[in-house]
Amino acid sequence: MTAKWMRRSTYASENELYRDQRVAPADQKILEETLVLYDRIRGLHGGPLLINSGRRSAEKQEELRKAGYRAAKFSPHVWGCALDVRVPEGKTDEYLVALLFGGAQLLGYDMPRVGWRNYRNGKSSSTFVHFDFAYLLPLESIPMGARKAWLVRGLTW
């Protein structure tokens, strides 16, 4: 299985996907399943769905770690297969989670890995939902220390 990559999305702007300016032009691409699922849930939602974070450089990830965010040593954002979608006004994180799992099912995809509960910070809803298809990356490109978690389809946290 070969991973396929896309630079553009129907709904997301390149500014949102590649906001981190240290992402090299050659790396300005996102795993196909990730962008297609985003576009599908954006269509299902029927209004703007902002992306807080798309592809990140390794430098950006290290900065987030040092700044004390809940940022992993290895992040699927750096590998271009993850997006953080902002919870729209008047909705909850569970609304986005349902869209993600429902959208994946409509597309005939296996389930994405989705994170929201750990980002609630004591509130009833997080402000964004992370999703990725890290298990679709070429195995040899996945860092050893991340394999155990990244290869679990449908993992939630």
Q: Which residues contact Zn ion (rule: CB under 5 A)?
A: 82, 84, 130
Nearer to Zn ion, 1 or 67 (CB): 67
Q: How far is the CB of 60 from Zn ion (least distance, A)?
A: 12
Smallest distance from the beta carbon of 13 to Zn ion, in angstroms? 18
User: In this structure, what DSSP letter does residue 145 have?
Assistant: G
The nearer residue to Zn ion, 39 or 53, going by C-beta atoms, is 53
33 versus 84: smaller Cβ distance to Zn ion: 84
**Minimum distance, C-beta of residue 113 to Zn ion, in the bound complex (Å):** 10
What gap in Å lies between CA 121 and CA 119, rounded to an integer?
6
**Edge-to-edge strands, sheet with 51-53:** 51-53, 82-86, 128-132, 113-115
For residue 82, the minimal CB distance to Zn ion (Å) is 5
d(Cα 77, Cα 91) in Å, to the nearest integer? Answer: 24
Which own/partner pairs from 102-105 qualify as long-range (CB within 8 Å, at least 24 positions apart)? 102/44, 103/37, 103/40, 103/41, 103/44, 104/37
Residue whose C-beta lies closest to Zn ion: 130
Alpha-carbon distance of 116 to 112, in angstroms, equals 13
Q: Which is nearer to Zn ion, 108 or 134 (CB)?
A: 134
CB of 15 to Zn ion, least distance (A): 18
C-beta closer to Zn ion: residue 39 or 84: 84
Choose among 80, 38, 43, 48: nearest CA to 61. Answer: 80
